[in-house]
Amino acid sequence: MNVKPTLFLYPTTMTSPLGDAVKLPCGLVFPNRFVKSALAELMAGAEHKPTPTMLDVYNQWAQGGWGALITGNVQVDVNHLGTPSDPALQGEYTGKEKNEALVATWAKYAQACQQHGTPAIVQICHPGRQSFRGAGNRGLFVPAIAPSPIPVQIGNGLLGWIVSKIMFTVPREMMQADIDTVTRQFVDAALLMADSGFSGIELHGAHGYLIDQFLNPKTNLRTDAYGGTPEARAKFVVDIIAEIRKVVPSNFCVGIKLNSADHSSSTFEETMTQIGLLVEAGIDFLEVSGGSYEDPKMMSSTQTQKSARTAAREAFFIEFATEARKRYPNLVFMLTGGFRSRTGAEYAVKENACDLIGIGRPAAIDTKFPQLLLDESVPDETAQLLLNKVPAPFYTRFLPAKLIGPGLESAYYGGQLYRIAKGLKTMAPSV
């Protein structure tokens, strides 16, 4: 499937392209280009279900004028979590009629997100080897699963090795039965979200999680049908998409978040090949992000004041998105990471790097950020939210920087989400 996105110009006095609506191949319409991208909410608690606190936060975003909301991770297996507070599926989902209470719980979440007409997309995920010890119901010493038994290594040197050993197990290589089980879990999660009234799902194929582990030759050393070539490494996710399409309505969105490649020729071409397979599988949009626990580009240092020319190219992964767009001009691209201003967002759209602008951390400070950027009475120099780096406590100097950086950022902005839920004023990092 290779359907060109349809743009609708709703009645408006704005000349900015950011207010354009975007229609996905499945028929779902985003009323503008701004998408609240996934954030780590850390709110599901011990039951791993949507909580009233989560609903309170999404109630605020639902009033923010977003084109769409993408939730934080919903793990497809409660035994394998990214954090102890992730929402997750507790077991096999056997349909709406047999799981009325479960569907009702998730339907409240969908209603909170979509009560004002904003489409909500659920990010579904399996952490694979990046499942922390103690995160999930499998036990401290039961190994995580992965395409190949390659452990996570955070930082260099002895301290990095010790921290990695404490936090993560050496993963067990997945057998065909494991692959079949996890595929079914992704399908179950997608069907549950469709039955609960969400507008779609996004497969998390970035940030070093399981789908990304299969796609990446550094973490997939298999020589069977799931490894050895770019096409074989994509088989896992392509099969998941095909199985999801069989059970969800035709107008249910199926997107994917994908890591941008390093700009070596071989890696880039392999990623382009894999994107082509995802397009053929019928994805509705592709979100470009980047990084993993070992190399957290998605938590790059935030921007301070810049010149107008530099600010125009503020997105972290814009070069990759621009090149990918040349290969797949009809694919709906969402670019996430680094957008802080109207100027930067307009630049990305006008340069044809993307159709959708993903906004993460600014959404945790200002739930109505799109309203600021879309308000034509606000001058460009004011239509922005500059965020400084989260200050690190003194003791973190003794810990691996690759762990502390993303951990501090996630914890800080997670704290802002709790403030939103309580109706308190949020605070941007001060230094």
pLDDT band of residue 15 (cuts 50, 70, 90) is confident
Separation between Cα atoms, residue 372 and residue 383, nearest integer Å: 6
Contact between residue 219 and residue 233 where contact means Cβ atoms under 8 Å apart: no
pLDDT of residue 318: 82
pLDDT exceeds cutoff 90 at 25 = yes
Contact between 136 and 79 under an 8 Å Cβ cutoff? The reply is yes
Beta strands in 171-282 (DSSP E): 172-173, 200-205, 253-259
Q: For residues 58 and 24, is the Cβ–Cβ distance under 8 A?
A: no
pLDDT for 106 equals 98
154-183 average pLDDT score: 89
Q: What is the pLDDT of residue 13?
A: 43
Q: Looking at the predicted structure, is the pLDDT value of residue 330 above 70? A: yes
Share of the chain above pLDDT 70, in %: 85
Give me 41's structure tokens.
């909410």
Q: What is the pLDDT of residues 33-42, one digit of tens each?
A: 999 999 999 9
Q: Is the pLDDT of residue 148 over 80?
A: yes
Whether the pLDDT of residue 307 is over 60: the answer is no
Find out whether 80 and 31 touch, Cβ atoms under 8 Å: no
Q: Is the pLDDT of residue 298 over 50?
A: no
To which residue do tokens 């909301």 refer? Answer: 69
Instruction: Say what the pLDDT of residue 320 is.
Output: 85
* Helix or strand holding residue 333 (H, E): strand 333-336
Provide the strand spans (E) within 186-269.
200-205, 253-259
User: What is the chain's mean pLDDT, rounded?
Assistant: 88
Amino acid at 162: I
Q: Give the predicted TM-score (pTM) of the model.
A: 0.90
Strand partners for 288: 258, 335
User: Which amino acid is present at 75?
Assistant: Q
Give the lowest-confidence range in 10-24, 81-95, 401-415. Answer: 401-415
Q: Cα 11 from chain centroid? A: 31
pLDDT tens figures, 207-223: 999 999 999 999 999 99
Confidence of residue 19 (pLDDT cuts 50, 70, 90): very high
Contact 211, 255 (CB under 8 A): no
pLDDT of residue 385: 94
What residues contact 42, with CB distance under 8 A and at least 6 apart?
A: 83, 85, 410, 414, 417
Tokens for 245, please give them.
Answer: 């399409």
Query: Can you tell me the mean pLDDT for 402-410?
Result: 65
Measure the CA–CA gap between 138 and 80, rounded to whole angstroms: 7
List domains and CATH numbers for the chain.
Answer: 6-421 (3.20.20.70)
**Distance (Å, whole) CA 235 – CA 223:** 13
What pLDDT score does 159 carry? 77
Q: Does 291 have pLDDT greater than 70?
A: no
* pLDDT given at position 289: 81
Q: Taking 90 as the threshold, does the pLDDT of residue 430 lie above it?
A: no
290 vs 277: CA distance, rounded Å: 19
The residues near 33 (Cβ < 8 Å, ≥ 6 apart) are 17, 18, 19, 20, 22, 67, 345, 349, 355, 356, 357
Ranking 56-65, 233-242, 265-274, 312-321 by mean pLDDT, the lowest is 312-321
Q: pLDDT: is 67 or 412 the higher one?
A: 67
Least confident of 11-20, 39-48, 68-77: 11-20
Q: Single out the residue of 283, 244, 243, 290 nearest to residue 267, CA to CA.
A: 290
pLDDT surpasses 80 at 23: yes
| Phi, psi angle pair for 329, to nearest 5° | -65, -20
Residue 182 confidence (pLDDT): 98
Structure tokens given for 363 = 């959404």
Say if residue 29's pLDDT is above 50. yes
- Across 75-84, 157-166, 332-341, least confident range: 157-166
392 or 238, higher pLDDT: 238
Residues 219-268: pLDDT tens digits?
999 999 999 999 999 999 999 999 999 999 999 999 999 988 654 566 78
Kind and range of the H or E element at 358?
strand 356-359
- In single-letter form, the type of residue at position 48 comes to H
The whole-number pLDDT of residue 395 equals 58
Largest CA distance in the chain: 61
Would the pLDDT of 297 be above 90? Answer: no
Residue 319 banded pLDDT, cuts 50, 70, 90: confident
The pLDDT confidence band at residue 397, using thresholds 50, 70 and 90, is: low
Band the pLDDT of 402: cuts 50, 70, 90.
low
- The answer for residues whose C-beta is within 8 angstroms of residue 3's C-beta and 6 or more apart is 25, 330
Contact 188, 91 (CB under 8 A): no
Average pLDDT on 376-403 reads: 78
Measure Cα distances from 11 to 20, 21, 69 in Å: 10, 11, 23
Q: Which residue has the higher pLDDT, 160 or 423?
A: 423
- In single-letter form, the type of residue at position 303 comes to Q
Q: Angle, nearest 10°, between helix axes 265-281 and 318-327? A: 60
In whole angstroms, give the CA distance from residue 283 to residue 271: 16
424 C-beta neighbours (distance < 10 Å), count: 10
> According to the model, what pLDDT value does residue 8 have?
44
CA 279 – CA 325 distance, rounded (Å): 12
CA neighbor of 201 nearest in space, from 120, 138, 87, 270:
120
Backbone angles phi, psi at 196, to 5 degrees: -85, -5
Question: How high is the pLDDT of residue 294?
Answer: 53
